[in-house]
Structure 1
Amino acid sequence: MALLTFDDGFREFYDIVAPVLERKGIYSINFINPCFIDNQELMFRCKASLIVDKLEKNKNINPEIYKILGSKQDINQHILQIHYSQKEILDRLAKVLEIDFNIFLKKQKPYLNFEQLNTLTRKGFGISSHSWDHPLYNELALDQQLETTRKTFQYLKENNFLYESFAFPFTDFGVNKDFFDVLFKNKELFCTFGSAGIKLDSIEKNFQRIPMETNENAGLLIKKEIAYFRVKKIANKNKIVRK
């Protein structure tokens, strides 16, 4: 038995992926960020990509860009490495470059809307939690980790989506035991998901997913994961231990 999951609630899931899966009789879960539903906001990494794209098309860079970044070296890489906690920098850069994220959202509609979420649910697809606005959890304080998770849980419950599960945005690497201890006091929460491949976890209800973001054949990738797990098991390093 396998669970097929998708992340981030992008519209392509509704337009392209879901119809293909439905024809094959396969159903999956899409872990969403409620902040972005109905194209109300754009995830900070997506903002960074739009900014870099604009810079690559411009031969002359506004000196104000260097001032905001505090550097003239590798500015594209610098922008792509901006953290969640620094995301206001992206809005400042966009203003200088005359990039309007709201116009982009209105025209491109990259995310699912509420009606599409309900349609997917009626068809048999699951909609569940991926945090409120896609932060990297190991960069957040414990109270921030819990706030973004609980806020999403409440949204899903109020709108009759799947609120019993949660998948970490980016990764669960560096998330301490304290977070899980508090989170699982909510008895309605069944499990959480990381994305570290085939591994055991000292948190029994935290399951690791196999990322499939490369162009590698899925069957071959799974075989590699199984082989790697067995090798790590010999050295007793096939389990994530949280402190």
Structure 2
Amino acid sequence: MNKNLIINISHPLRAITSYKKLLFKHRNFLIAPFYHAVYDETPDFIKHLYTPRNFDCFKKDIEHFQKYYTLLETKELKDLTSNQTKFKKPPLFLSFDDGLSACLPIAEYMKQKGIPATFFISPQFIDNKSLFHRYKASLLISKIDSESGKNLDEVLKVYKLKNKSYLIQLLRTITYKTRNILDDIAKLLNYDFNDFLANHKPYLSKNEVLKIKNMGFTIGAHSIDHPEYILLNEKKQIEQTIESVNMIMTLFNEKTSLFAFPFSDVGLKQSFFQSLLKYGVDFTFGTSGMKQDSAQNNYQRIPMEKSLSSAKNILHSEHILYAFKKRLNKHKIERL
């Protein structure tokens, strides 16, 4: 369900439902907000995908987390799963996906504030070796928005499209399996993704990731190159997960194996999660909001960039929705 819709629907409920009472009721439930990065001006490679927080908004989010939640370090996750710790305020696990270079100033700010967090990274993108297919699509949409002339006409002719609006629609539908289309369109438009990577460096370098780790933060895996897992067979899902986890642990000397699913873990089978446990993956994280999960050590995170609302409104809405679904016994993801 659309996050803005959830927040709008829950608006009148927030007025009559005590946030503090819900926090107390859910005081032993892991709350896991996540971001990608923070920008005061949204770059083109993100512009057509989601709206990131600016720094002022992010700082207010952090203040809210500190006031109402118990911020967890990675090592405390094991105590949570064994029910060894009882909390006065709900535990909160903060994370960032994709390993974007804008995460470095975020880490520096959080270091000053004493905020623990985990940064989930896809090894293929470290040092700007390649670019996530959805970021390519966003760059091309920005290019097309201002494009006219023979290059655009050639693209429309090749793909048999009436105008650039249809081309933009096509770009929005491209997935990991059809990502080569992006390179083909870029070539026709005389747009070079390698030039973009070299000049703008959207991702962290290995040395920058090490700098973040040395500040005391944890580095986790985010697949090799960010596919939609639902489009992969189970063998490929396992390969993407285990190879990326092993690479991250080796590159950054991590002792706990953490993995955050790119896009979503919706539709993934119980047998897949059982395989991960056999390979020794400690914790995995989805993106379905505040829900329980039948898969062992798999936690659902809360996207913070699908709404411009405050952290309090986003999380208050999540608590309300969870309490409502629990009454209907719809609060838990059951894996097949």
- Normalising by the smaller structure, the TM-score range is over 0.9
Q: How many residues align?
A: 241
Where 2:161 maps in the other structure, the secondary structure is coil
State how far apart, in whole Å, the 2-side matches of 1:72 and 1:127 are. Answer: 46
> Equivalent residue for 1:166?
259
Where 1:174 maps in the other structure, the secondary structure is coil
State how far apart, in whole Å, the 2-side matches of 1:83 and 1:70 are. Answer: 20
Deviation at 1:67, TM superposition (A): 4.7
1:176-215 to structure 2, matched below 5 A, reads 176-187=269-280, 189-213=281-305, 214-215=307-308
1:25-104 to structure 2, matched below 5 A, reads 25-60=114-149, 62-72=152-162, 74-104=166-196
TM-score (norm 2): 0.69
State how far apart, in whole Å, the 1-side matches of 2:274 and 2:222 are. Answer: 19
Deviation at 1:69, TM superposition (A): 3.5
Deviation at 1:228, TM superposition (A): 0.3
Where 2:279 maps in the other structure, the secondary structure is coil
Which one scores higher on RCO, CA 8 angstroms, separation ≥ 6? 2
TM-score (norm 1): 0.95
Where 2:285 maps in the other structure, the secondary structure is strand
Deviation at 1:68, TM superposition (A): 4.5
- Conserved 8 A contact 2:291-2:332: yes
Are positions 1:6 and 2:96 aligned together? yes
- Conserved 8 A contact 2:242-2:279: no
Larger Rg: 2
State how far apart, in whole Å, the 2-side matches of 1:184 and 1:71 are. Answer: 47
Are positions 1:115 and 2:204 aligned together? no
- Conserved 8 A contact 2:273-2:296: no
Equivalent position amino acid for 2:257 in 1: E
State how far apart, in whole Å, the 2-side matches of 1:94 and 1:59 are. Answer: 14
- Conserved 8 A contact 1:167-1:194: yes
- Conserved 8 A contact 1:136-1:169: yes
> Equivalent residue for 2:325?
232
State how far apart, in whole Å, the 2-side matches of 1:69 and 1:143 are. Answer: 33
Tell me which moved more, 86-95 or 59-68.
59-68
State how far apart, in whole Å, the 2-side matches of 1:45 and 1:236 are. Answer: 35
Task: Structure 2: state its 5+ residue gaps.
Answer: 1-90
Deviation at 1:217, TM superposition (A): 0.7
Against the structure 1 CA distance between its residues 103 and 163, is the aligned structure 2 distance closer, same or farther, given a 3 Å change threshold?
A: farther
Deviation at 1:234, TM superposition (A): 1.1
State how far apart, in whole Å, the 1-side matches of 2:221 and 2:162 are. Answer: 39
Task: Structure 1: state its 5+ residue gaps.
Answer: none
> Equivalent residue for 1:220?
313
Structure 1 residue ranges (4+ consecutive) displaced by more than 6 angstroms after TM superposition: none
- Conserved 8 A contact 1:9-1:32: yes
Where 1:31 maps in the other structure, the secondary structure is strand
Identity %, equivalent residues? 38
Deviation at 1:242, TM superposition (A): 1.1
Deviation at 1:66, TM superposition (A): 2.7
CA RMSD of aligned residues (A): 1.4
Against the structure 1 CA distance between its residues 83 and 35, is the aligned structure 2 distance closer, same or farther, given a 3 Å change threshold?
A: same
State how far apart, in whole Å, the 1-side matches of 2:201 and 2:228 are. Answer: 24
Deviation at 1:54, TM superposition (A): 0.9
